[in-house]
Structure 1
Amino acid sequence: MNAHRFGGRSLRTRLLLFITAVLIVVCAAMALTTVFVQRAYLLGNLDDRVTNAAERSLGGASLHPDLASDLTFLNESGHPAGMLAARLDADGNVLAAATVGQDAPPQRLSDAQTAVLSGVRTDGRFHTRTVPGLGTYRLTALENHGVRVLTGLPMDDVQDMIGGLVVIEAVVAAAGLTAAGAGCAVVIRRQLRPLGRVAATAVEVSHAPLCRGEVAALTRVPERDTDPGSEAGQVGAALNRMIDHVESSLAERQRSEERVRRSEERMRRFLADASHELRTPLASIAGYAELMNRGTDRIEPGLAWRRVTAESARMTGLVEDLLLLARLDEGRPLQSAEVDLAALVAEAVWDARAAGGGHDWQLELCLDAPPLVLGDEARLHQVVANLLANARVHTPVGTRVLATVEARDGLATLRVRDDGPGIPPDLLPTVFERFTRADTSRARATAGTGSGLGLAIVAAITAAHDGRIAVHSEPGRTEFTVELPLTGDLGADTLTWSSRASLL
């Protein structure tokens, strides 16, 4: 439970607590080490003094070895004040004990005080004993030819110094820890400030309505907080990369949704237009069939059959166009063979001239070798025929129509240009869409009406051959351009063509 609560604290608090704990441990270790070293040093000095006093006392006592309880050596000058001395028997019992006073004769110890001194061996080792009424002493016992003397010095100075050192170190450590804690708190707060800004950016991004509507530009982490040299900068840079990825994904999702929406709209419009186009010939066929059922006096049978046949052919052509577009949309493979685009265009121009004698048909070949492309010859012929038919149907009689074939830079280019009234500007963006019909400004040369699939078929077939198609139109000039990849570079060993030819 405690670990869970600690883990739930903020990073700033955890860092501060951890650093404070480390500082406390370090300060405590340093203080204890200092106290122990200082205590050992002071005890060493005190032990040296105790040894010197014991040797001097033993020397004085050895002058009267027959007096077992003699302490007259304490009357000699030079003994430190507070020194304790005692005569011992062979069993370590105290025979006599006294302390040296300041400018006073030695004072005998009481029985209670001497009892504390019993049991000290005369082996020169140091002992610490607390004597009632006198304090703590550092003791040692020495022996010389049967003379045994116990000598001790008070430890008050050592203890006072150690106690003062502990107090000073505690005060200094407390002050240092307080100052270090305050400094660490300030430094941690300043160092974690970039991380706080990164977190604020993440929170702001999380509140953005990403699931609906058009997503605006998301907030980024400031550049100053994306320095890869720091951990916070690495987090900020990673967050910015993630936001970039989210934005690109959202933009792609929106584009996909927009494409789906447009595709659905085109599909609905396509179905509506297809239904409308099919309904017209079906209605005509049904009408003429009804008239025939009511009797031949209402309509001439030959005329009725001719109209039924014409509407059937129109409906068949429309269905075939729709099937062709469907196959191209599915990506079904076309026949593949080398096709001479120049010869194919020449045949199509001859056919167009026969169908529309009222137009001025011209062919121009600007190449040094036959432009061979890889593709389906029948479909490519349909591309050229549809472009020429479009120029014939949507321009008045007498319009000049020029078909040009070029081959350069690995591309075979077909251009169909007329000097008719042009395509309305509002129609140009959708001219290659299905069931797109020309404006009334593009006068029809014939009374027939098209289905609006011709240019859509041209665009689909061109795309299936890895080609491109474009249109440029203005009053007095309309040009369709089809580019197809050549099968290979034009070589010198190919059939030589004239640099410029025309068919009038």
Structure 2
Amino acid sequence: MTVAARGSWSLRRRLVVGIVGLLAVVSVVVGVSSVVALRQTLMARLDEQVMDAASRAAGPLQGAPQAEGDQPGNRIGTLVLRTRDGVVVRAEYVTESGVDVELTDAQIAQLRALDLGQQPMTVDLGELGEFRVGARELPGRDDVAIAGLPTAEVTATTSNLALIFALVTLAALVVAALAGTQVVRVALRPLDRVTATARRVAELPLARGQVALAERVPDSDPRTEVGQVGAAFNRMLEHVESSLRARQDSEEKVRQFVADASHELRTPLASIRGYSELTRRSGLELPDDIVYALARIESESVRMTSLVEELLLLARLDAGQELAHGTVDLVPLIADAVSDAHAASPEHDWRIETGEDPLVVTGDANRLHQVVANLLANARVHTPAGTVVTVSLVRAGDDAVLTVADDGPGIPAALRPVLFERFARGDGSRSRGTGSTGLGLAIVAAVVEAHRGSVALESDSAGARFVVRLPLARPEQ
């Protein structure tokens, strides 16, 4: 398993795996230590028995040669090899049925070849199995008694113990994993509540409007680690709430200022426009430079009036005002807007694609007409003559989808993220110097959002596509 895969584990999994892993290590250490200690104890006892058997086998020889070394007390499984003056006088093995069986020449040779010292050693005698053998030498002559006992009993005992430890350890690990999962789940339950609170906060609409963060983590006891996290999270929420409240107050002041300023500027701008137009049409003989200046004053006052009206509209939309609610059929609305755009710019190729069935939405007809008009004006202003502008309207589920597409030069990638922000303007590649205020698309976004819809941009070298989705009006039951 890679480090990256382990790094993606949850805290719950890490704790459970850590607990089970630690228990496994401790169990293995205890089990191995116990088995090794038991084997050493059993082998030490077996060595004592081997040396006792060797001592008995080294006793005085009596009777006939066939009975030499026939000493009582040899248990089942004992083997004895006795030599006298280099000659084997006894070589036998006691079987499980208590019968003495002669050792083979190969086994005798293997035993005599052993370099036996003061301590017994282990030797494998083939079909007889593994034996622990020891020797006693009689001083002053070549008289050796070798005795051995099988290690099968020691091996079986230690193997059984190891198996028991393995089974018990496995069962303990399973129980520890199940119990540890429950314990960790209960211990981390306060952390789950922190996560749930964070998710609820993440779903709150914090981007705009009045924000009230009533969510708090219930576990904030500073005496626990999770409580410290909860307390820190609550302090962060309080800080965010105060910051959002301050931001909202500042935005409200700015909106109110823009609305008040726009409202107050309309009257003097209308007066400037009216007086300049009145002076220009008075019939008096005025110098050409004065006539030009008056015309410029009149045109700039018109442009300034349009800007003020758009700012006032945005301010009222931000405040949730300026919208009338009724049923609006988008098909004739789009037809009228395209007709107006064709009259304003006949050098463009205007095309419309709508079905015959009406598509009715609930909203403000004038503002929705303004949305279409602004999108068409954007295509007219920022594309060269001869550009094909296609307006399509289709039904997509419960929405009406309006698309305004052109085959112009497209929109620069750097401008796309801020295109619907206020006073966003394109560079010279799309602008024809018509004095755009940069508020048209911002009004489109604000009006569509006020109608619970959405607007998106798709642009490449083949042109730009503005896609507006508006929820259709529900039929009366």
Instruction: Output the TM-score relative to the length of structure 2.
Output: 0.51
2:93–2:100 CA contact under 8 A, matched in 1: yes
Q: What is the alpha-carbon distance in structure 2 between the residues aligned to residue 268 and residue 102 of structure 1?
A: 115
For residue 10 of structure 1, report the CA deviation from its aligned partner: 1.8
Gaps of 5+ in 2: 276-477
Q: 2:85 & 2:187 partners in 1: Cα distance?
A: 74
> In the TM superposition, what is the alpha-carbon distance from 1:268 to its structure 2 partner?
5.6
Task: Say if 1:142 and 1:150, in contact at 8 Å, map to a contact too.
Answer: yes
Alignment partner, residue 43 of structure 1: 43
Q: What's 1:231 paired with?
A: 225
Q: Is the 1:71–1:86 Cα contact (8 Å) retained in structure 2? A: no
Q: Match of 2:58, SS?
A: helix
In 2, Cα distance between the equivalents of 1:102 and 1:18?
50
Name the CA shift for 1:203/1:216 in 2 (closer, same or farther; >3 Å): same
1:139-160: CA deviations, max 9, x gaps? 1122122321211111122112
**Counterpart amino acid of 1:10?**
S
* Counterpart-to-counterpart distance in 2, 1:104 and 1:28: 40
SS in 1 for 2:133: strand
Which residue of the partner structure matches residue 377 of structure 1?
Answer: none
The Cα of 1:104 is off from its aligned counterpart by 4.7
**Are 2:137 and 1:179 aligned?**
no
Letter in 1 for 2:223: G
Asked whether 1:85 is paired with 2:80, we answer yes
What is the aligned partner in structure 1 of residue 210 from structure 2? 214
CA contact (8 A) 2:131 2:149 kept: yes
Equivalences for residues 99-178 of structure 1 within 5 A: 99-101=93-95, 104=98, 106-145=100-139, 146=141, 147-178=143-174
- The 1-side partners of 2:249 and 2:47 are apart by 92
The structural deviation recorded for 1:34 is 0.5
**Any idea what SS the aligned residue of 1:184 has?**
helix
Q: Highest CA radius of gyration, 1 or 2?
A: 1
1:261-305 Cα offsets, whole Å, 9 max, x none, are: 3444555677789x69x99xxx9xxxxxxxxxxxxxxxxxxxxxx
Would the alpha carbon gap of residues 9 and 102 (structure 1) be closer, same or farther in structure 2, given more than 3 Å must change? closer
**Helix, strand or coil for the counterpart of 2:213?**
coil
* TM-superposition CA deviations, 1:449-469 (whole Å, max 9, x none): xxxxxxxxxxxxxxxxxxxxx
Which residue of structure 2 aligns with residue 339 of structure 1? none
> CA, structure 1 residues 260+96, in 2 after alignment: closer, same or farther (shift >3 Å)?
same
What one-letter code is carried by the residue in structure 1 that aligns with 2:82? R
Equivalent residue, structure 2, for 1:340: none
Equivalent in the alignment of 1:485: none
Counterpart Cα distance in 1 of 2:261 and 2:88: 122
Indicate conservation of the 8 Å contact 1:85/1:150, yes or no.
yes
- Which whole-Å CA distance do the structure 1 matches of 2:114 and 2:39 have between them? 23
CA deviation string 1:120-141 (max 9, x = no partner): 1242222111223322211112
Q: Distance in 2 between matches of 1:258 and 1:121?
A: 103
Report Cα offsets for 1:422-472 as digits up to 9, x if no partner: xxxxxxxxxxxxxxxxxxxxxxxxxxxxxxxxxxxxxxxxxxxxxxxxxxx
* C-alpha distance 105-12 of structure 1, shift in aligned 2 (>3 A): closer
CA distance in 2: counterparts of 1:165 and 1:51, whole angstroms: 26
**Mapped partners of 1:94, 1:16: distance in 2:** 66
CA gap 1:242/1:53 in 2 versus in 1, 3 angstroms: same
Kindly indicate whether the alpha-carbon contact (under 8 Å) linking 2:54 and 2:145 is maintained by their aligned counterparts in 1. Answer: yes
1:248 maps onto 2:238 in alignment: no
Is 2:199 the counterpart of 1:199? no
The one-letter code matched in structure 2 to 1:117 is L
Q: Post-superposition shift, 1:59? A: 2.7
Letter of the structure 1 residue corresponding to residue 189 of structure 2: R
1:236-315 matches, within 5 Å, as: 236-265=230-259
Q: Which amino acid aligns with 1:243?
A: L
Gaps of 5+ in 1: 284-504
Quickly say closer, same or farther: Cα 1:126–1:183, change in 2 above 3 A.
same
Q: Supply the distance in 1 between the matched residues of 2:138 and 2:106 (Cα, whole angstroms).
A: 27
RMSD between aligned residues: 3.3
Alignment-derived partner of residue 13 in structure 1: 13
The separation in 1 between residues aligned to 2:16 and 2:42, in whole angstroms, is 38
Identity among equivalent pairs (%) = 37
- Over residues 314-361 of structure 1, what are the superposed CA-to-partner deviations in whole Å (9 max), with x where a residue is unaligned? xxxxxxxxxxxxxxxxxxxxxxxxxxxxxxxxxxxxxxxxxxxxxxxx
Give 1:255 shift: 1.2
Opposite residue 190 of structure 1, the aligned amino acid is: V
SS in 2 for 1:259: helix
**Is 1:120–1:141's contact at 8 Å kept on the other side of the alignment?**
no
Q: Closer, same or farther in 2 for the Cα pair 1:49/1:83, shift >3 Å? A: same
CA contact (8 A) 1:123 1:142 kept: no
AA partner of residue 222 (structure 2): P
CA distance in 2, matches of 1:90, 1:258: 120
**Structure 1 Cα separation of the partners of residues 28 and 76 of structure 2:** 36
Q: Is the 8 A contact 2:208 2:248 kept in 1?
A: no
Secondary structure class of the residue paired with 1:51 = helix
Q: Describe the shift of the 1:47–1:77 C-alpha distance in structure 2 as closer, same or farther (beyond 3 A).
A: same
> Does the Cα contact within 8 Å between 2:92 and 2:101 map onto a contact in 1?
yes
Check if 1:75 corresponds to 2:70: yes
Q: What letter corresponds to residue 116 of structure 1 in structure 2?
A: Q
Counterpart for residue 293 of structure 1:
none
Q: Write the distance in 2 (CA, Å) between the matches of 1:27 and 1:89.
A: 53
Residue-pair matches, total: 273
- C-alpha separation in 1, matches of 2:23 and 2:144: 52
State the partner residue of 1:480: none
Structure 2 CA distance for aligned equivalents of residues 97 and 227 of structure 1: 82
Q: What is the deviation of 1:229?
A: 2.1
Cα distance in 1 between the residues matched to 2:198 and 2:59 = 87
Paired with 1:175 and 1:74, the residues of 2 have a C-alpha distance of 53
Match of 2:101, SS? strand
Contact 1:75–1:106, Cα closer than 8 Å, also in 2:
no
